[in-house]
């Protein structure tokens, strides 16, 4: 089945209640490719959220728990994640290759593991303050690439990275290594200031090679979230047409 523009959109269900979850799933089911359950919703409402989405929608499910613990704990947690029947999940790349391998082994090819390279809310100054070598502070993409290499070698399906690094990741690891890009800010939302720092527009992320765009607040907080999702898909479609020309 060919991927349409809406299939590139992952909508994070960053909401506090099951009734809000149901509202957005019902509203956006035919307008996005995947729903993401993150810490906020999972801590409040747990694994039932996966079943609720499955009962309401054919969209994919990404359980984004960003695991970061000792390998055995990550392996066992990943087994539990895979048993829920979700398509994608995440573990941080920042620790060790063993930790990522444990995530992949726990998921047993039932659920794809994405390595979180460097959060899009992190800037060069943050890296410097955290004590990283100058070469990484001067060029953040070097750190992202180094972490993506760890993820690739550990058997991850792909990585989460900003739209600014995705071109380099695709060039280095090939088109089949999945790149999921948060920090997406459509042109009509650029004036809104928030915690995201390494941001890209949907069209730019697509042109750089992103396989999926995580787009939360620009849709969730829009006056009309459905129109916002449709406008984003239109922007993606134009970018795809330009690539295929
Ligand atoms: O579009 P917005 O900034 O609202 O997206 C926020 C969502 O993206 C949250 O669910 C957050 O967990 C996720 N995210 C991510 N990786 C990042 C940045 C944000 O998964 N690097």
Domain boundaries, the chain: 5-243
Determine what percent of the chain is predicted with pLDDT higher than 90: 91
Largest CA distance in the chain: 50
pLDDT digits (tens, 9 = 90+) for 72-118: 999 999 999 999 999 999 999 998 999 999 999 999 999 999 999 99
Query: 160 in ligand 1 pocket by Cβ < 6 Å?
Result: yes
Residue 216 Cα to ligand 1 middle (Å): 7
Question: How high is the pLDDT of residue 188?
Answer: 80
Which residue from 41, 33, 35 is spatially nearest to 14, judged by alpha carbons? Answer: 41
Residue with the nearest Cα to atom 9 of ligand 1?
12
Query: 216 in ligand 1 pocket by Cβ < 6 Å?
Result: yes
pLDDT digits (tens, 9 = 90+) for 42-81: 999 999 999 999 999 999 999 999 999 999 999 999 999 9
pLDDT digits (tens, 9 = 90+) for 196-219: 777 899 999 999 999 999 999 999
Burial class (CB in 10 A: 0-12, 13-18, 19+), 191: exposed
Question: How high is the pLDDT of residue 192?
Answer: 67
Nearest atom, ligand 1, residue 66 CA: 20
Question: How high is the pLDDT of residue 226?
Answer: 98
The answer to whether residue 37 scores a pLDDT higher than 80 is yes
Residue with the nearest Cα to atom 15 of ligand 1?
182
* b/e map 78-102, b = 16+ CB within 10 Å: bbebbebebebbbbbbbbeeebbbb
Question: How high is the pLDDT of residue 190?
Answer: 66
Burial class (CB in 10 A: 0-12, 13-18, 19+), 223: exposed
Question: What is the spatial distance between Cα 133 and Cα 221, in angstroms, rounded to a whole number?
Answer: 38
Query: 158 in ligand 1 pocket by Cβ < 6 Å?
Result: no
Query: 14 in ligand 1 pocket by Cβ < 6 Å?
Result: yes
pLDDT digits (tens, 9 = 90+) for 137-154: 999 999 999 999 999 999
Residue with the nearest Cα to atom 20 of ligand 1?
182
Annotated binding site for substrate: 14, 36, 64-73, 120, 185, 196, 216-217
Residue 245 Cα to ligand 1 middle (Å): 31
User: Domain 5-243: which topology?
Assistant: TIM Barrel (3.20.20)
Exposure on the CB side of residue 77, measured as CA atoms within 13 A: 21
Question: How high is the pLDDT of residue 47?
Answer: 97
């Amino acid at each position: 089945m060919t991927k349409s523009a809406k299939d590139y959109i992952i909508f994070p269900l960053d909401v506090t209640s099951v009734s809000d979850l149901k509202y957005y799933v019902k509203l956006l089911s035919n307008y996005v490719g995947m729903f993401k359950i993150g810490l906020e919703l999972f801590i409040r409402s747990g694994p039932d959220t996966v079943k609720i989405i499955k009962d309401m929608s054919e969209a994919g499910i990404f359980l984004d728990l960003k695991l970061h613990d000792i390998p055995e704990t990550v392996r066992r947690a990943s087994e539990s994640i895979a048993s829920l029947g979700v398509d994608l999940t995440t573990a941080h790349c920042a620790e060790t290759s063993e930790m990522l391998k444990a995530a992949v082994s726990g998921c047993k090819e039932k659920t794809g593991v994405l390595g979180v390279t460097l959060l899009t809310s992190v800037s060069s100054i943050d890296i410097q303050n955290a004590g990283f070598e100058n070469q990484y502070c001067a060029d953040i993409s070097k750190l992202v690439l180094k972490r993506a290499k760890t993820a690739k070698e550990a058997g991850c399906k792909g990585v989460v990275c900003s739209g600014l690094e995705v071109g380099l990741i695709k060039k280095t690891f090939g088109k089949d290594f999945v790149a999921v890009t948060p920090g997406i800010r459509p042109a009509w939302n650029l004036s809104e200031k928030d915690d995201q720092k390494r941001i890209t527009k949907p069209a730019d992320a697509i042109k750089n090679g992103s396989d999926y765009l995580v787009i939360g607040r620009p849709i969730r907080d829009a006056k009309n979230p459905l129109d916002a999702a449709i406008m984003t898909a239109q922007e993606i479609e134009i970018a795809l047409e330009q690539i295929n020309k």
